[in-house]
Structure 1
Amino acid sequence: MSIQLGGLATGLDTNSLISQLLKVERKPIERLERDRSFFKARLAAFTDLDKRLRDLMSKAEELTTARKLVANKATPATEEFFKVSASSTAMAGNYNIKVLSLAQREKEVSLGVASVGAKEFGAGTLSLQVGGKDPVVININENNNSLGGIRDAINASGAGVKAAIINDGDAANPYRLVVTADDSGTPIEISANLTGGSYVDDPERPFAFTQTQEGTRAHIQVDGIDIYRTSNTITEAISGVTIDLLKEHGAADAATGLQVDLDVDAVEKKIRDFTNAYNEIVSFVAKQKDASWGRDAGMQAPLRNLQLLVSTAIGGDNSLQALSQLGMQTQKDGTLKVDGTRLKDAIRNDLDGVLGLFNGSVGVDGLAKKFGDYLKGVTDRANGILASRKTATDSSLRRIDQQIERQEMRLEKREKTMRAQFSAMEDLVGTLGAASSYLAQQLSMLSNFGSRR
């Protein structure tokens, strides 16, 4: 960067003068920058509003059906023997559950061998019969007659088992093949017909398998009714309840009680989440009152429409027609205050009415659907409030940026012009100063010449 030294001839601070003149001429750019900041702040406010509207839409969606709104809880007397969870369709009641056996997969284990990769099993066939199905025959030849090769051939056979190799730590023959059934309670029969090979020909170490774990089905009794499954996760033994078995009861007369009932707290929370999301919108719009966009129709219209939905009865013959009947009252600031006692009483004593209020009935839309339908429109990615404001704002910002760019270019040229003009003035003043000094010198010489005569 060149160093500008002004005022050497005139004594003026030309750099300061130019800076002050440019500052005055920069006023239009400053106005444009303020406009740009305004548009960005307005767009940020509408983006924030859109986020809150979407959150409310999400909370309303959780209230649109009984399956989404209703929550049940299943509580065992102890979780020592099983754990439970309940869906919205669970049948309320008290049950006694006895765990007689857990589901487990049959395991067959071979004798140990010295190497995983040594091809010393000879050739022939390996037959796998799983769960009474037709046997699956595997050919063993020079390409796969190692322990690792037999493992891979079993896993590729689709016989309904998985094979793995374990190392039991034996000093001479540590590697053993473990074959496990895919399904609990499924029996496995393995037979080998191999000839040749050092392992097979050793009469003391035939290629045979020993059962180390019996395959059993899960067996429970629910109120004395026997129920069997191939998994330790049991569904629909009790409608809507999932039971994860952990341990057998053992004692003949032992059992664990299970209580299934409505989870009032969980239902209340979903409704409170909805009202909290509504209150967030009310409070946010109120905070925008001092900004010019706070009076924008796009900011006020959603609030007015949501307030109308809150205060209007849904219609039809449902026992509950409005949120006020759930103990929700509109405060002076427009937010909803929830009376928790009244809300829980309504859930506990008139669940059908609560469901009708939010879910609706034949020919009547519930409050949740009315909210959802309206919010879906105002938050639409293409035609919603934010989308329209963003389109207009982006256009304004492009126009402002172009104007600022043109103004900056003009000021750059203006600065060059002024510096050139001041430089020319300095040169002129310097020339005039030199001429003045010369004339003064000449006059002095003439004066001195006259005095000597």
Structure 2
Amino acid sequence: MAIESIAKTLGTGSGVDVTALVNGLVEASFANKNAALTAKTEKLTAQISKVSELKSTISDFASALAALTAGGTLATQPTSSKTDIVTATRLAGADLTGLNASVEVRQLAQGQVASTDPFAGGDTTVVGTGTLTLTFGTATVSGTSMTAFTAGPAAPISITIDSEHNTLAGVAQAINAANAGVTASIMTDSSGARLVVKGATGASQAFQLKGSSQLTELDIGRNETGSDINSVAQDAIVALDGVQTRYTTNSIYGLVEGVRLDLVSAAVGTKVNIGARAPTTEIAQSVTNFVETFNEVYKMVKAATNPVDGPLRGDPAAKDLLRQLKGLTLATLVADAGADAPRSLADIGVATQRDGTLSVDTARLGKMMTSFPSEIEAIFAQGTGLTKALSDIASKATHRETGLGVSEANYTKAQDKAAEEKDDILAATEKMRTRMTQQFAAMDAKVAAYKSTQSFLEQQIKSWNGGN
């Protein structure tokens, strides 16, 4: 008889709810093991969750600080007295201490723009097949005509126009696909469609475009009557403190050390002062934000390692993270600072309170920023100073072989083992249930037999007594 059938018929002979009795005995036998395993599993789950939270939190903290310092807002920024003429942008790692320069924009760089005469049939006009030859060099332009052209050192570029690109629009597509240093487009108005070709900025980027066979209608260059030069290729002309120089683009590097100048408009005779502004407000706000975030992270780690009820109270990696956070304010962030210059967070007014959290002495911070602006900036420099110190803490804390990564792996392994133990207990439970069910089934059958004999004897006795 199957175990299910036995269980359904148990107790029919003895009158006892044997199924409930078996279940109760089995559950009581494994109650302590199940309770201990449940508590162990819950503890491991809490530990894995907390380790994951700490790893994510410290990594996010370090990444946010790195992004802030990389943005350049915590470093001295260049300024322009006339941003409608020229704007100034700090280059990474630049030291702008004492920056003061005068810039005059006498001419903007621009590229040559040329257009063909209009084709009345529009951009679908068939202009033929052949080869367009593009040559770069320097040109002289009078009005809309190129009167002279000197080829540069680069070899001419050939652009094939096949039967699939034999229309005006197709020619523009073929020129753009060649990536030859010019861009082409179609401009359409009431008179028809024109092929417009634009080159890169700089006087040396003037160009001629010559077509073979049927493509001569598209010729652009010296003494060509079927096209116009709409914009002349020219260099930017800039004077720094009165000394004139030329550049091929309107974004200039190296003229002012550590600064990129972007020319907006030409203004002959107008002097634009390029200076510097210290990020006093930005650094003060960043220190406050850093301390607030640090305190939240510190409280989280402290609670996780609390020796009484912290889920990671015995975890060496978590306790090491707490130790490192406690020592951050005293860590040397500027190794080459002068004798009286600030080297650490403590030196600029970030103090550790009795509970381990940080506070900011704004008066001291303001004094340090006034007296040691370069050293303060060095503390918050990209990739060094505080950014590196916090990044090192995060890297060590999350390391797979020595940090919380090891803890997470160990807890996960222990949880997997607990799951295996749970399966083993479940198997043992069912084995005991089966064995006891079979035992009680046999007992119940015997009781049923005894009750049957008892009933027979009772009937016989009644019969005997009735006969007497």
TM bracket, shorter-chain basis: 0.7 to 0.9
Partner of 1:154: 175
| Counterpart code for 2:228 | T
| Counterpart code for 1:89 | D
Partner of 2:29: 25
Q: 1:426 to 1:239 in 2, by over 3 A?
A: same
Mapped pair 1:266 → 2:282: yes
| Counterpart code for 1:441 | Q
Distance 2:291 2:215 in 1: 79
Distance 1:219 1:196 in 2: 37
Q: 1:307 to 1:145 in 2, by over 3 A?
A: closer
- The C-alpha deviation readout for 1:340-371, integer Å capped at 9, x for no partner, is 23223212311355467789xxxxx9787677
Distance 1:11 1:374 in 2: 71
Unpaired runs of at least 5, structure 2: 138-150, 219-223
Partner of 1:168: 188
Distance 1:357 1:248 in 2: 39
Match of residue 37, structure 1, among 18, 24, 42? 42
Q: 1:207 to 1:118 in 2, by over 3 A?
A: farther
Match of residue 95, structure 2, among 83, 89, 98? 89
Partner of 1:234: 252
| Residue correspondences, number | 431
Distance 2:112 2:291 in 1: 54
Unpaired runs of at least 5, structure 1: 201-205, 360-364
| Counterpart code for 1:298 | A
8 Å contact kept, 2:329–2:350: no
8 Å contact kept, 1:326–1:342: yes
> Which shows bigger deviation, 425-434 or 324-333?
425-434
- The C-alpha deviation readout for 1:273-307, integer Å capped at 9, x for no partner, is 65556544532232131226325443334433553
Distance 1:145 1:357 in 2: 63
Partner of 1:399: 417
Distance 2:387 2:127 in 1: 71
- The C-alpha deviation readout for 1:105-161, integer Å capped at 9, x for no partner, is 3222222253756655265x5333223325445566767644355335534656422
| Counterpart code for 1:14 | V
Mapped pair 1:109 → 2:115: yes
Give SS of 2:313's match: helix
Give SS of 2:363's match: helix
Give SS of 1:26's match: helix
Tell me how far 1:180 sits from its aligned partner. 1.5
Partner of 2:213: 194
Give TM-score scaled by structure 2 length: 0.73
Match of residue 136, structure 2, among 130, 137, 143? 130
8 Å contact kept, 2:237–2:247: yes
Identity %: 22
Mapped pair 1:332 → 2:354: yes
Tell me how far 1:169 sits from its aligned partner. 5.3
Q: 1:397 to 1:157 in 2, by over 3 A?
A: closer
> Which shows bigger deviation, 310-319 or 436-445?
310-319
8 Å contact kept, 1:136–1:157: no
Partner of 2:317: 298
Q: 1:191 to 1:354 in 2, by over 3 A?
A: closer
> Which shows bigger deviation, 331-340 or 23-32?
23-32
- The C-alpha deviation readout for 1:64-111, integer Å capped at 9, x for no partner, is 99x989601234456444543324433544555555544333222222
Match of residue 283, structure 1, among 299, 311, 316? 299
| Counterpart code for 1:350 | F
Tell me how far 1:417 sits from its aligned partner. 2.5
Tell me how far 1:339 sits from its aligned partner. 1.4
Distance 1:346 1:420 in 2: 85
- The C-alpha deviation readout for 1:150-177, integer Å capped at 9, x for no partner, is 335534656422233x26155xx85432
Distance 1:445 1:370 in 2: 103
Q: 1:329 to 1:439 in 2, by over 3 A?
A: same
Distance 2:378 2:129 in 1: 74
Tell me how far 1:31 sits from its aligned partner. 0.7
